Amino acid sequence: MRCTRHLLHVAVLLGAAILAGPAAAGAQERPPNILLLIADDLGWPYAGFMGDPIVRTPSLDALAAQGTTFVNAHSPSSVCLPALRTLLAGIHTEQWDRQRAALASAFGPVRSRTEVEFYRTVPRELVRRGYLAWQGGKFWEGTFATAGFTHGLATSVSSPLSNVGDDFGRTGWAEGTALAPLEAFLDEVGSEPFFLWVAPMLPHVPYDAPPEFSALYDGLGLDPRRARYYANVSWLDAFVGAVLAELDQRGLREDTLVVFVSDNGKEAERDVGGVGQGKGTLYEMGFRQPLILNWPGRVPAGVTREDLVSTLDVAPTLLDFAGADALNDGRGTSLRSAVESGAPVGHPRLVSQYRGTPASNDGFWVRTPEWRYLAASDGREELYRIDLDPFEQVNRAALHPDLLQGFRADVADWQATLVAGRQEVDVAGRITDYLYAPIPGENVELSGRSRAGQRIRLRALASPRGDFLFESVPLGSYKIRSRRSATPLALRSVVGRIPVDLPAGSLDLFLPLRAPQPAAAFTAGNSVLRGTVLDGAGAPLAGAIVSVTGSTPERRVAVTLRTAPDGTYRAEWLPPAEYRVVAGTTAPRRSTRTTVTIDPRDDRVLDVTLPG
């Protein structure tokens, strides 16, 4: 391509950017350890800090008192499997299922509960940023490894409704060994930050709490089912206390963000879902739960908030605290800024779809601070003044036809947004050899045509763990390959050029690529070059191409990127070298170039202004 030779405003843009890079890198703090505690079937009223006068939850009460508690958190689903998907990948289960259908079309049948290897997940993104990630307890999406964890207990999907390791937290309680797998992981962590997915199946059935917990509710005149449920809640509380005590004993608590949430809600006196007004229904009890954030000295203590929040907000919040990128397809927002500043979260309403049986338990719901609307597939509409009637006893639908019309519009808008998706997505992945060891430093190329007919050719480098990322790829049809012909890559039965189709409604994609034969690995770099491409008026340019090329004693390095909608770009895992940086657009045709020297562990900022 013919380029206009136009240097940057060296004295201002380039010089300031280069000087800012190392200083910015030096100012970065070590990211926090993250502990995600996931209760199973914890109904929102059933904890001391939520106002229950009977159930005993001293550990959770203390966690809430020392942190920030959202009392109006909601899961998109009132059963566990789709609810856990939201916590794992930050997306609604409707998005998950649509993506699985697209994957099946591209790569052949995808067995349910194994497709997670194709999704971007919270542990994958944290591991890309240097975390170790451990999974223990209820999980239900593939194995810990296929979901992006580095360590864990879910080594296989053992049945349609369970995984190996689901019993973590229950097994060994009487013997004092319940935390042994977690302790073993913490013994080997070292100085790296870690992410813990800790999900005991509590207070979920079976209601078989040890005697010290069931005895707490003897002689109180409780319904036997409520008493058994409360005993399991107290068992959960004791387990949470034991995990926090373990972190305290190791001196890790001050450096750890703790987030406590449940997968979904529950009615205490219903052992099964799909009946009454709790789990497996469209009613509030199945969806609402508390959400606690706790980090000593960093998250405000003793704060209780009424803001509407969703468990869709959990994934972006964790990634934000960790300094990692958000998952683009998520419908939630990070709560970090609101928590730290005290500002409103900003959700005026929550909308979701739940697929249940029978038709009376299947449909949509909308939640505002005052109202809760539900529309079942059997044609039933209900409306509750939820701030005054939290257990949905008085249906006011007939009294407010004007409100019904507005809530129907909310549902229609939600559905339309879900179908439309985004026009650009990220294509991420990991490259391993035939023994599943990572291939670092590999140069990967994605090429093809967008739906608009634009020719796209992008190149990325793999991290020390074999991770790669192409950002802001327009929807279209592409192929991915290694730029080394001697190292063909494979995905399932396809070897060489791997097809990547991104139809309308596509989500970000994760591709588990393998080299089917031995391959010599390069040395992966550890530096970043990032910045913003601007037009002559100083406005960010989306879709500009940034090419970063250079040579090391080992090889030639070539990275080609598209700028994001905000004009930003990032070249990752660069080895030390002098690089030529060319940025430009094709319509109109304009470009600029410069050189920059990248040192080890650089985080270099280079903003680029194209000629007018």
Domain boundaries, the chain: 10-28+424-609, 33-347, 348-420
How do the residues of the chain divide into helix, strand and coil, expressed in percent and rounded to 5? 25, 30, 45
- The per-residue pLDDT of the chain, averaged, comes to 91
CA distance 198 to 165: 11
CATH architecture for segment(s) 33-347: 3-Layer(aba) Sandwich (3.40)
Give 43-101 as a 3 state SS string: CCCCCHHHCCCCCCCHHHHHHHHCCEEEEEEECCCCCHHHHHHHHHHCCCHHHHHHHHH
Predicted confidence (pLDDT) per residue in 394-425, tens digit: 999 999 999 999 999 999 999 998 888 889 99
Evaluate if residue 572 carries a pLDDT over 60.
yes
**Model pTM score:** 0.91
Q: CB atoms < 10 A from the CB of 35, how many?
A: 24
What percent of the chain is predicted at pLDDT more than 70? 95
At 23, is the pLDDT very low, low, confident or very high (cuts 50, 70, 90)? Answer: very low
* Secondary structure of residue 334 in the 3-state scheme: coil
At 9, is the pLDDT very low, low, confident or very high (cuts 50, 70, 90)? Answer: very low
Mean pLDDT of 497-519: 87
pLDDT at 104: 82
* 101 vs 153 pLDDT, higher one: 153
Mean pLDDT of 348-355: 97
Mean pLDDT of 229-246: 98
At 592, is the pLDDT very low, low, confident or very high (cuts 50, 70, 90)? Answer: very high
pLDDT at 13: 34
- Phi first, then psi, for residue 235 (nearest 5°) are -65, -45
Is-contact 170 11, C-beta < 8 A?
no
Predicted confidence (pLDDT) per residue in 39-91, tens digit: 999 999 999 999 999 999 999 999 999 999 999 999 999 999 999 999 999 99
Strand partners, 36: 197, 259
CA distance 446 to 34: 34
Specify whether domain 10-28+424-609 bears CATH 2.60.40.10: yes
Specify whether domain 348-420 bears CATH 3.30.1120.10: yes
